[in-house]
Amino acid sequence: MYGAIEAGGTKFVCAVSDKTLKIIERVSIPTTKPEETMEEVFAFFDRYPIETIGIGSFGPIDVNTNSTTYGYITSTPKLAWKDYNFVGEMKKRYQIPIAWTTDVNAAAYGELKKGAAIGKESCVYLTVGTGIGGGGVVNGQLLSGFGHPEMGHLLLKIHPEDHFAGNCPYHGNCLEGIAAGPAIEARTGKKGQLIEEKDPIWNMEAYYLAQAIVNYTLILSPEKIIFGGGVMKQKQLFPLIRAEFKAQMAEYVQTPPLEDYIVPCELGDDAGITGCLLLAQEKSS
């Protein structure tokens, strides 16, 4: 039996599955203080004989196995979780193998194995919502090095008609600061789902998202770029992004046909927990 935790800034989704990855039970636990949230996490998993567990966590986190703080949530704006030894606390409770990565890396892995990138060896997954996060798989392996990808904090060229200063507390007008949901709302005074499909804000949003994935393409050359998150439920964004991507790339490098290259996620809200279960399964072999 496998365990999985998709640890988000708002909620923890915990699940257990059988050996075929069929989910037996899942729960959602509010992300409050570590001692409160983890008490509920432990109460859930204590009921099952789990052999391994996969964790995809909000971050930044330490994924460097040579680091003294491997397994920690590090410089998160959720101050109660800053420098929290997540993997260490789990290992105290359960002496089992633990897979540890970011929530968006887990979602990328889920989409590669069970979703929009089935049959591929590489993909980038970008979630655009309250924040922007990105994960990647290259040659079938999660993308990491000294640290993990922080694709949402890419620095971009500003749209000539955009006068918004950006709202990232670290970088101001990075991708997250100018293209996440709160940035759209700050410019328009409306949440994305209340803005008309033909509003010019979507052209600006497409300009920034296309610019970001041009950069990811030039660096990683993935076989798929997959979008998830609440903002990307605005389906009119996809043709706008593809058109902007084509214009900005200017035919410099080849990609798959854009309708097959820049796509929505297929697993939806299950991408992260699916990836975590897959990583748990691999830890058992």
CA distances from 3 to 91, 158, 182 (A): 13, 43, 33
The reply to whether omega before 160 is within 30° of 0 (cis) is no
Residue 113 lies in a domain: no
* Residues 68-114: tens digit of each pLDDT: 999 999 988 788 999 999 999 999 999 999 999 999 999 999 999 99
User: Considering only CA atoms, which of 112, 106, 89, 92 is closest in space to residue 15?
Assistant: 106
Q: Are residues 92 and 154 in the same domain?
A: no
- Indicate the residue type of 193: Q
Same domain, 73 and 161: no
Residue ranges making up the domain that contains 65: 2-105+269-283
Query: Can you spell out the DSSP letters for 85-125?
Result: EHHHHHHHH--S-EEEEEHHHHHHHHHHHHSTTTT-S-EEE
274, 203: one domain: no
Rounded-to-integer distance, Cα 251 and Cα 231, Å: 28
pLDDT at 236 over 90: yes
Residue 47 has a pLDDT of 98
What confidence score (pLDDT) does residue 77 get?
79
For residue 132, pLDDT beyond 80: yes
**Number of domains present in the structure of the chain:** 2
Domain co-membership, 260 together with 122? yes
Same domain, residue pair 194 and 60: no
Same domain, 256 and 274: no
Helix 201-220 vs helix 237-249: crossing angle, to nearest 10: 50
Query: Which pLDDT belongs to residue 96?
Result: 97
CA distances from 274 to 14, 246, 265 (A): 11, 32, 13
285 pLDDT above the threshold of 80: no
Tell whether 238 and 129 lie within a shared domain. Answer: yes
- What's the pTM? 0.95
Mean pLDDT, residues 48-72 taken together: 96
Pair (150, 64) in one structural domain: no
Residues 127-136, mean pLDDT to the nearest whole number: 95
Same-domain status, 125 and 235: yes
Please return the burial class of 68, using the count of CB atoms within 10 Å of its CB with bins 0-12, 13-18 and 19+.
exposed
- Evaluate whether residue 111 is within a structural domain: no
DSSP-assigned beta bridge partners for residue 26? 15
Task: Place 242 in a pLDDT band, splitting at 50, 70 and 90.
Answer: very high
Q: How far apart are CA 113 and CA 180, in angstroms?
A: 27
Residue 232: pLDDT band (50, 70, 90) is very high
| 168-194 residue pLDDT tens | 989 999 999 999 999 999 999 999 999
Same domain (yes/no): 166, 228: yes
CATH of residue 123's domain is 3.30.420.40
In a domain, 53, yes or no: yes
Q: Determine the pLDDT at residue 22.
A: 97
204 plus 122 within the same structural domain: yes
pLDDT of residue 145: 84
Name the nearest CA neighbour of 273 among 160, 46, 115. 115
Share of the chain above pLDDT 70, in %: 100
Q: In this structure, are 63 and 128 located in the same domain?
A: no
